[in-house]
């Protein structure tokens, strides 16, 4: 969800206004995905690197998170959406963590869609946590080195209950991954758009999905093999 700051700057507003309008786009994206029957949506809301932003901006983003959670709990319940979070949640301010855990708990039995917020998330850090957990299990003879395979690694990622990513969308014209789900996007289709996140509305999501539907996902095979 990139481009909140540039959107505000283009309009002569402070960055905070960009983030507030970005939160509106979050709601529209979530509702649209739920309507379409998309089972999993993961939003990169705050990276481990985002802690290095000016203190005031970080505080504002955390406040906005709390405000949005309070406001959107009804949308989540009405649409049967389960909220979960990945990342270093211990880093979040107390109030943000409390509100987040409350909404996670209240929506835990919803089953139409899983909305995952990546908060204080970094993919390399996630991979390090997997390596540490597996090393520990090897050291304590719980698993053998030989048994380590893709499924064991998948099972130790924060995203253990999610499938691999099918489509990754990045807004604002940047064509980077920026430490997001590096393991999980091995075969994802990448979609980059110049639209800034606060301007990313339903029709832009549809454009991305139609583009995705027209791709041929070969997973290393040939086209001929796929058509058999």
Decide if residue 5 touches ligand FPP (CB under 6 A): yes
Q: In the structure encoding, which two tokens stand for residue 89, read together?
A: 């949640």
Beta carbon nearer to ligand FPP, 42 or 172: 172
The single residue among 76, 86, 96, 117 that binds ligand FPP, judged by CB under 6 A, is: 117
Measured from each CB, the residue nearest to ligand FPP is 5
Decide if residue 201 touches ligand FPP (CB under 6 A): no
Decide if residue 100 touches ligand FPP (CB under 6 A): no
Cα torsion 90, 93, 98, 101: sign = negative
Decide if residue 65 touches ligand FPP (CB under 6 A): yes
Decide if residue 22 touches ligand FPP (CB under 6 A): yes
**What is the smallest separation between the CB atom of 18 and ligand FPP, expressed in angstroms?**
6
Contacts of 51 (CB under 8 A, 6+ apart): 58, 91, 120
Does the annotation count 52 as an active-site position? no
Does the annotation count 2 as an active-site position? yes
Q: In what order do the strands lie in the sheet with 113-121?
A: 40-47, 113-121, 81-86
Identify residues 158-177 at the interface with ligand FPP (CB under 6 A). 172
Decide if residue 45 touches ligand FPP (CB under 6 A): yes
Q: DSSP strand E in the chain: where?
A: 40-47, 81-86, 113-121, 167-170, 189-192
Contact status, residue 44 vs residue 121, Cβ threshold 8 Å: yes
**What is the smallest separation between the CB atom of 213 and ligand FPP, expressed in angstroms?**
26
**What is the smallest separation between the CB atom of 71 and ligand FPP, expressed in angstroms?**
9
Decide if residue 62 touches ligand FPP (CB under 6 A): no
Decide if residue 204 touches ligand FPP (CB under 6 A): no
Beta carbon nearer to ligand FPP, 26 or 208: 26
**Rounded CA gap, 228 and 219, in Å?**
15
Decide if residue 64 touches ligand FPP (CB under 6 A): yes
Cα torsion 160, 162, 164, 168: sign = negative
CA 169, 172, 178, 182: dihedral to nearest 10 degrees? 10
179: alpha, beta or left? (left if phi > 0; alpha if psi -120 to 50):
left
**Rounded CA gap, 144 and 22, in Å?**
46
**Rounded CA gap, 75 and 141, in Å?**
46
Decide if residue 68 touches ligand FPP (CB under 6 A): yes
Decide if residue 6 touches ligand FPP (CB under 6 A): yes
Binding site residues, ligand FPP, CB under 6 A: 1-6, 19, 22-23, 26, 43, 45, 50, 61, 64-65, 68, 117, 172, 197
Catalytic positions are 2, 50
């Amino acid at each position: 969800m990139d481009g909140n700051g540039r959107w505000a700057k283009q309009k002569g507003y402070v960055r905070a206004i960009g983030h507030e309008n970005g939160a509106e786009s979050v709601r529209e994206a979530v509702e649209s995905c739920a309507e379409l029957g998309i089972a999993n949506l993961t939003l990169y809301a705050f990276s481990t690197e985002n802690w290095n932003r000016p203190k005031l901006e970080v505080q504002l983003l955390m406040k906005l998170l709390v405000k949005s959670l309070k406001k959107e709990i009804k949308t989540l319940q009405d649409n049967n959406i389960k909220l979960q979070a990945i990342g270093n949640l211990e880093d979040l301010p107390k109030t943000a963590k409390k509100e987040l855990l409350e909404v996670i708990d209240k929506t835990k039995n919803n089953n139409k869609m899983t909305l995952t917020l990546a908060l204080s998330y970094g993919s390399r850090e996630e991979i390090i946590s997997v390596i540490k957990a597996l090393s520990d299990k090897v050291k304590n003879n719980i698993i053998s080195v030989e048994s380590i395979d893709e499924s064991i690694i998948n099972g130790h990622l924060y995203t253990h209950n999610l499938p691999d990513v099918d489509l990754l969308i990045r807004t604002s014209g940047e064509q980077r991954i920026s430490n997001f789900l590096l393991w999980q996007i091995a075969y994802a289709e990448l979609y980059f758009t110049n639209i800034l996140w606060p301007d990313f509305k339903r029709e832009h999501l549809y454009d991305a999905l139609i583009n995705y539907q027209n791709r041929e996902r070969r997973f290393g095979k040939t086209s001929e093999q796929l058509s058999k």
